[in-house]
Structure formats: C-alpha cells, structure tokens
Structure 1
Amino acid sequence: MGLSSPTEIVATDKVEVAFKNLDAAILVGSMPRREGMERKDLLKANMAIFETQGTALEKYAKKAVKVLVVGNPANTNCLIAMKSAPSIPKENFSCLTRLDHNRARSQVAMRCNVPATHVKNVIIWGDHLSKQYPDVHHCKVNVSGGEVACFDAVKDEAWLKGDFITNKSWKIVEGLPIDDFSKAKMEATATELIDERDTAMEFLAKK
C-alpha cells in the first residue's frame, strides 16, 4: 500500500507502484512462526519477503528513504532488507521491538502500581527470541511525582533479574555503564542474533 498524496491511498501488489519514490517505508508483514516450524524454515520464509522488499527499495525508493521493520524477528528481517538494498545508507534502517518494550514497561508499572506511562528508559537488547534481554538498569519510574531508579522503585532485585526477564528518532546511545550481569545477558542475546544472521546469510548466498 502506498500514499500518492496526503489524502490518497493506493492499494497495490506491484512493488514498482508501492515503493516508487518513497521517503519512508514501514515494513510490517512477516511470516509468524507456526507450531512445529523449524527456525530455519521461518527464516527462509521471511528472507523471501524482506529480500523482495529490500530489492524494491533499492530499485524504486529514494536513496534517502527511512526504513522501519516491524515484522518479527525484526532485527534479522531488517538485516535482510538492508543487505538487499546496498545503495541505501545502513543508518536509514531500523527495527522496532515495541511489543517487547511495552511488555517490559507494563510489568514494571504493575509491580510499582503506577501507569505504564510512568515508566521510561527501558531498553530491549536482542530480537524477539528466547534470550532477549529487557534491561531496566537505566529505567526510571515516576512514583508520587518524582523519578526513582527502577531497582529502587520495584524493591525486588531477584524478580527483576529472574521472572521479569522471562515474561516476555533512533540512535545508538554510547557510553552507558554496563555491569557484569547486563553484559552477560547482552552477550547471550548477541550470540543468538549472530546465529540467526549467519543462517540468513547462508540463504542469501545460495540464491
């Protein structure tokens, strides 16, 4: 679906129409994992979707197009689209793990008995995978009109480092202090992402 003007919507299944002269693309469609489906099969199905869309961006969109990938696994799908559009700057691609971000905020909010809007600076490391790490070390909770560090607001470190993790404009923030616990969790999810990336690259290499 494309917007030809602020007041007109064009529904189409033709990439040359949908992607022509785009300033921004939000890629929401992906193959969900079905019962009994191997992860490699899921990656192969999504690779076909996002390789097609990346190729269309490369051929028809503006080179300054901003691309947001929403469909899970968002990080890997974004990588496939980016690799399929080599002339578009890498920094123009980003992915959204908003579902996981909202879940994390809601869990903290319920624990503190405040609205989710009172929880900020939750960070999601990794993809929509089992080793994803919701990081609240920089999170602040608005309690009684004042901002409190998440660990101080929740007052249950065991929960934040245990059960909380197993509930399920963009820029790189540099210089964040990372403690050993967070570093170990981030390295685990990075390993999972690398494995998924390598599998996706194997599929791309075979085409």
Structure 2
Amino acid sequence: MLTLLSVMYIVVRAASSEADPIRVLVTGAAGQIAYSLLYSIAKGDVFGKDQPIILVLLDIPPMLPVLDGVVMELQDCALPLLREVIPTDKVEVGFKDLDAAILVGSMPRKEGMERKDLLKANVAIFKTQGAALEKYAKKTVRVLVVGNPANTNCLIASKSAPSIPKENFSCLTRLDHNRARSQVAMRCGVPADAVKNVIIWGNHSSTQYPDVHHAMVNVHGKEVKAYDAVKDDSWLKGDFISTVQLRGAAVIKARKLSSAMSAAKAISDHMRDWWFGTLDGEFMSMGVYAGGNSYGIPEDLIYSFPVHIKNKSWNIHDGLPVNDFSRAKMDATAAELVEERDTALSFLSQ
C-alpha cells in the first residue's frame, strides 16, 4: 500500500522530470510561412514530443493586430506542450534568452528593385537582428535564416553577433533539398523517403546546384545510384536541375504567392535534424559557414553543403569526388555568393 509520503514523492518526481520550456523565436510571424510553421513547432513535431515550448512571435508594428489573431488560434489549438505565446514588435523582448531563432521575415524584392537595393535593405534588417542576438540571446542559440537572400542575410547576422559561434548560424536550403529528392522520387516511381543523399550546393538562388551524383534510390528493397535508377542522364543534367533551381518562381506563377507550406515543412525538417541529428549514412543540405577548407569553396561565405549532424553540431561531409560538370556549377554559385557578400559588406560598414 502506498503511503501518503510515497505518493507525494511520486508526484513531485513526475513534476520535476518535465523538461524546462525552450524559447523559440519566429520572425515575420504574421506571414504565411509562419502560419504554416507555428502549429508544427507548438505540437512537438520539431523539437520533440516531450519538449515544452515558449513561442515568441516577432513582426513589425503594423502586423501586431494580425499577430493577435495568430495567438488566439494557437491558444484555441489547446496544445499541451505550448506553455506561452509572446507576440511583440520589440527586439529586446523577441530575442531574450532564446534557444532557437527562426528568422523568416525579410524585405521582399519589389517590382523595379535592383538586387543591390534588396541587399541594402536586408543588411539593415539582419544587422539589427544579429546585434539583438548578440545582446539578448543565449550564446548557445541555434539560428536559422529563411528570409532571402538567405545565405548573405545569414552571414550578416553572424557577423553582427561575434560572440555567438559561427557554427550556430545556418540558412535554409532544405526546401531545395526536398524539391530535388521529390523530383527524383517521382521520376523513379518511389516514395520520397526512398531517395537519400541528394545535395544542394551553394546559394539559395537560381545558381544553386542540385547534385545527385552521390544520391541513392531504394528500388524494390535494393539501393542503387540515382543515375542508374533514373536512367536518363540528359534529364538529370538538364531539366532536373533547372526545375529545382526555378521551382520557387514556378510556385509564385501558379499560386500568385510564394512557397509557404513546403517552406514551413523544410524549416521543420532542418530544425528537427539540427536538434536530433541525421541518420547514419545520410547527409542533408544546409547553408553553413565555409571556412575555406571544404571542396575549394572560398572562405567567409554561407554556402550550402552536405552535412552530418550529431549533438546539435554539424560537420560537412568531406571527401566526395567532384567531376568537372559539378565543379563548374559549384564554382558558379560560389562566385555569385562572393559578389553578394562583398556588396553586403560594403553596406554593413556604412
């Protein structure tokens, strides 16, 4: 028979075993990507089914009334892991004590806007957000930059938060990775999870290089190289690459809106792998800091590589053979990133 003391001990032990809530920031939180993303985070699909969450929603002042509606909907979902939702337009509130920051909001390119004007506007945004991370967030915070131009925005945020390790910053190329995986799967008539180890090299732009030279496809229980499974080299070196490169524009043309559902899914995939690690024998695509030692890519860029993740730390999967076809495309996207970086840094010093 349980005594009162033993019952009290069991209750206290059960209560104390619950993990402390983590603070997760989503910027651009009134936008359509966030609307598709927040439910997945709050219900435990990203950071774990036993991990309580405090969601911090940051947006510009005119969007606060919309955020109020988002907060009401999150409350109405009655999600057991969601401990608190904090809507704000203030960086000192939004970036305080963060465990994870998902920076979705950015200045979109408007009609007639030159790329350098877009870069200048976003340098100002991500310089401010990087400085806020530096001042208010935990030094262990993991930062995912989604807002475009994502690679260069991520670099600016990192440079503006010098006490946070460069390895804690990444940008989203998982959407491109998922697109590439899906295209190969559809071509082979297999589920998407039957395709592994596709790679997105470089910039999240139309110069990115979707590479399947190292990808494997599970066909009827047997893993075969993607080129052997597809049996159409001209497609893999032509329409496949351009389809992935231009998929975002195709979605906009069809929907009259940019990718939201697929972007939210990719953010969830990216952060879940960063939190829990990649499977043995698999690598994922992730925009990370290039130190100048991997695949001949210039240093001081955020460049998409194949990575393994363990204990919340990523490592570039080095040593893959690179043929001349791939080398040219990897270098072309690196050259675009160098130009973007140099232009952005000229604005950063102003």
State the TM-score, normalizing by the size of structure 1. Answer: 0.93
Distance 1:111 1:66 in 2: 35
Letter of the aligned partner of 2:225 in structure 1? A
Distance 1:36 1:118 in 2: 43
Can you give the 5+ residue segments of structure 1 that lack an aligned partner in the other structure? none
1:88 corresponds to = 164
What do the CA deviations read for 1:102-134 (whole angstroms, capped 9, x no partner)? 221121112111222211111111122221100
Mapping of 1:173-188 within 5 angstroms?
Answer: 173-188=317-332
Match of 1:128 among 183, 188, 204: 204
Segments of 4+ moved more than 4 angstroms: none
Greater Rg over alpha carbons, structure:
2
Q: Is 1:195 aligned to residue 271 of structure 2?
A: no
2:230 corresponds to = 154
- Alpha-carbon contact 2:213-2:226 (below 8 Å) kept: yes
1:9 corresponds to = 85
Match of 1:47 among 103, 123, 144: 123
| Identical aligned residues as a percent | 75
Distance 2:182 2:200 in 1: 14
Distance 1:28 1:192 in 2: 22
Distance 2:144 2:235 in 1: 33
For residue 349 of structure 2, give the secondary structure of its aligned residue in structure 1. helix
Letter of the aligned partner of 2:334 in structure 1? A
1:73 corresponds to = 149
State the TM-score, normalizing by the size of structure 2. Answer: 0.56
For residue 167 of structure 2, give the secondary structure of its aligned residue in structure 1. helix
RMSD of equivalent CA atoms: 1.6
What do the CA deviations read for 1:123-171 (whole angstroms, capped 9, x no partner)? 1111222211001111111111211111001111111111111112333
Mapping of 1:92-107 within 5 angstroms?
Answer: 92-107=168-183
Letter of the aligned partner of 1:81 in structure 2? A
- Alpha-carbon contact 2:104-2:147 (below 8 Å) kept: yes
- Alpha-carbon contact 2:217-2:223 (below 8 Å) kept: yes
Work out the number of aligned pairs and report it: 206
2:41 corresponds to = none
Distance 2:125 2:323 in 1: 38
Distance 2:128 2:112 in 1: 26
1:114 corresponds to = 190
For residue 8 of structure 1, give the secondary structure of its aligned residue in structure 2. strand
2:46 corresponds to = none
Task: Name whichever of 5-14 and 140-149 sits farther off.
Answer: 5-14
What do the CA deviations read for 1:68-121 (whole angstroms, capped 9, x no partner)? 112222111110100110111111111111221122112111211122221111
Can you give the 5+ residue segments of structure 2 that lack an aligned partner in the other structure? 1-23, 26-53, 56-80, 245-273, 275-313
Letter of the aligned partner of 1:136 in structure 2? V
For residue 166 of structure 1, give the secondary structure of its aligned residue in structure 2. helix
For residue 200 of structure 2, give the secondary structure of its aligned residue in structure 1. strand
1:166 corresponds to = 242
- Alpha-carbon contact 2:217-2:225 (below 8 Å) kept: yes
Q: Is 1:19 aligned to residue 163 of structure 2?
A: no
For residue 64 of structure 1, give the secondary structure of its aligned residue in structure 2. coil
Displacement of 1:31 in angstroms is 2.1
For residue 217 of structure 2, give the secondary structure of its aligned residue in structure 1. strand
2:269 corresponds to = none
